[in-house]
Amino acid sequence: MYGAVANDAVTVGSAERVQTGTAGIEERIAELLGQMTLAEKVGQMCQVNVGDSYIHDYLAEALKAGRVGSVLNEVSVDVVNELQRLAVEESRLGIPLLVGRDVIHGFRTVMPIPFAQAASWNPGVVRDGARVAAAEARRSGVNWTFAPMIDIARDPRWGRIAESLGEDPYLASVLGSAMVEGFQGDNLSGPGAIAACGKHFVGYGAAESGRDYATTNVPENEMRNVYLRPFGAAVDAGVATLMTSFSDIDGVPATANRRLVRDVLRGEWGFDGFVVSDWDSIRQLCIHGLTADDEGAAFEAARAGVDMEMHGDAYANHLERLVEAGRIDPGIIDTAAGNILRIKFRLGLFDNPYTDPDNVPNPLDAANTAKQAALESAVLLTNEHDVLPLDRGRLASLAVVGPLADAPRDQLGTWIFDGDPNLSITPLAAIETLLGDDVSIRHVPALATTRSRDVSGFDDAVSAAAAADAVLLFLGEEAILSGEAHSRADIGLPGAQAELVRQVREAGKPVVAVIMAGRPLTLANVVDNVDAILFTGHPGTMGGPAIADLVFGRASPAGKLPATFPRMVGQVPIYYAQKNTGKPPTPETVVMIDDIDPGADQLSTGLTAYHLDAGYTPLFAFGHGLSYTSFCYENIRCSRTELRLGNSLTISAELTNTGERAAVEVAQLYVRDLVGSVTRPVRELKGFCRVHLEPGESKTVEFALHTDDLAFYGRDNGYAAEPGEFYAWIGGSSAAELMTAFRIVE
């Protein structure tokens, strides 16, 4: 499927992937492996959950015996140092521990959820957020995080889309690599660095119906051209570890998938870090029905190339016996233990296993970094009659309505085990601080939670709206509605929120909706009842000040959607990079019911199939995002219209700020390969850049495009660009209309 299966026993190390001190590290690994017993090697492959700030006797004994290679979920630095002491000073060989924790989008200071960070389209924002998180985690003794999650997510029903970087492999590759760089720094052994872990290898985001843990069926061509790409980019960025997916992939669960791990990851990409299972996913091979018992599960996972077992005990209970019985080559164990030791050496743990919080620097101001991330992650979806920004000088009173206006925990989002809600500044608090006594503010939650259907508080909300000059509605999903095992079949606003919007609208005042959510939502039933929609995701610790600055014009929104927002859930999946059909719709062939606009004026978006009751366009396209100014793209051109394989061209356009405010625009380049040995998407993102423009200012935006950037896996599974004709668009979203063309010749 993916090529020839690599040998079970793989040589420790790789001369081609040399880092500083690699040769010395490989010698030290070989020397240490020569001293280790089989039990000690297997011990390196075992991870134990701690997490209760107490070292049980059984764990202490296991550490002294060298039977534990990693612990997770302990964030007391004193306990971590004692665990390290037991491993380093009381075991025979003194091998230090990896200390893992889910540091997904912050530690104490919480950044916006990764899906929201992706809306910044700014690798610097993602990198800085990870740098802050790494430093805060490192002070607690954590030296390994299970991030970034670089699964391509094209079904917003899936709860873990909140952790993702969106639907596009190019954007996820760029931002995922930036997150790796932020966590790991310039030197993995630096005082504020922690090892990153790209997850979930691979295809987890394609779970059927968006149901977490469900089966995934990903064709080989799509696997290589879409789902594998961000992982390849992370490996190129030097990611220390990768984690296998929970899911079944075409009949072989990822944790037992030798072709993916041994052939693609090790053989093709030369990855020399280590691979960890997801939580207890080795023993779950039995539940999948791939193996009859835990011994069979340990056998399949180890032969597949999974170096470490997270939390379960299949390796601890069965690997030694499998080797002694001759079922597993001892070289597999040596390779796995060596891969783990390599990362420990690169982290500098053998030289300095203990954590002194005072020696971990503050790379950036955490609060300001979080605020900047929240500012750049917000996406202005609609802004009728330029209702935003609100003019403080013309406001005497303001109604702040909704269950998320003052919800410090919920604004942090999912996966924030160590996040401190006491550090959160909510929108209500930030607005009160910004406006002071100049504006009368009335706050009405109206609903106890976003899920509530109790409308008894609506009368107060409507009364507040009627008495105010403007209404800010804070709506969306509370944090518990997204994340792992939190998938939704209906992705509209939960509870009675849509009815709240309708009733508040009847007060006749300008209504601005601020949507906090962990996924794209179907907003067709509320979009016409509000004057503006600002989508913030779950914006993190400093979400309130960022929202206040945006609403009142102290900053202009520049975020762009990292995933398509459908009109209704029945359109899912409706990602922008679809394939064409043999019968694409035209204005003459589209038939609609229920008097819904078919979107015939948007045929250039390339969305190629449709439903009678929804049309073929989404509510908001991938890459969409408005500003408080307006931008005009003109004069697209190619530096050459024909180029040979192996050469480059430049595609450029003139971008002008035609409005009255300075702002940033994210200019985007899309390309279509019209004819290929396999069918190609109607559009693919190939580049983007952030451009700051003063009012009336123009700049030329340029994108260099090499023929290698147009390569793909073809019918014979070879990776190459193919001669032929290409279209290219530059604009502010995937619906860009400014187009040119060029041709590749042999």
Active site residues: 278
Helix count (H) and strand count (E) of the chain? 19, 25
Residue found by looking up tokens 């380093």 in the block? 88
Of 343, 151, 317, 322, the C-alpha closest to 229 is 151
Residue found by looking up tokens 């309130």 in the block? 544
Q: Round to the nearest angstrom and report the end-to-end CA distance of the chain.
A: 29
Of 741, 743, 703, 702, the C-alpha closest to 721 is 743
Distance CA 665, CA 626 (A): 9
Give Cα 258 distance to the centre of its chain.
25
> In Å, what is the CA distance from 159 to each residue of 148, 407, 488?
16, 20, 7
Distance CA 652, CA 684 (A): 17
Distance CA 120, CA 557 (A): 10
Strands 663-673 and 631-638: unpaired
- Max CA-CA distance within the chain? 81
Distance CA 533, CA 327 (A): 60
Main-chain dihedrals φ then ψ at residue 530, nearest 5 degrees: -135, 155
What angle is formed at CA 164 by the lines to CA 151 and CA 549, rounded to 5 degrees? 160
Q: Is 622 helix (H, G, I), strand (E, B) or coil?
A: coil
Q: Is 669 helix (H, G, I), strand (E, B) or coil?
A: strand
Residues 632 and 666 sit within 8 Å (Cβ to Cβ): no
Strands 241-244 and 739-745: unpaired
- Residue 455 has what DSSP assignment? -
Main-chain dihedrals φ then ψ at residue 147, nearest 5 degrees: -155, 155
* Amino acid identity for residue 640 in this structure: R
Contact partners, residue 215, CB within 8 Å, separation at least 6: 207, 208, 247, 248
Helix extents (H) in 353-426: 366-377
Residues 141 and 355 sit within 8 Å (Cβ to Cβ): yes
Of 417, 369, 361, 371, the C-alpha closest to 138 is 361
Distance CA 342, CA 272 (A): 8
Residues 521 and 482 sit within 8 Å (Cβ to Cβ): no
Tokens at residue 6, please? 């690599």
Distance CA 486, CA 722 (A): 42
Residue found by looking up tokens 């003109």 in the block? 634
> In Å, what is the CA distance from 129 to each residue of 508, 633, 727?
41, 32, 36
What angle is formed at CA 679 by the lines to CA 741 and CA 671, rounded to 5 degrees? 30
Q: How many CB atoms lie within 10 A of CB 238?
A: 16
Distance CA 646, CA 721 (A): 9
Residues 225 and 679 sit within 8 Å (Cβ to Cβ): no
Does residue 389 have a cis peptide bond before it, meaning omega lies within 30 degrees of 0?
Answer: yes
Distance CA 305, CA 4 (A): 15
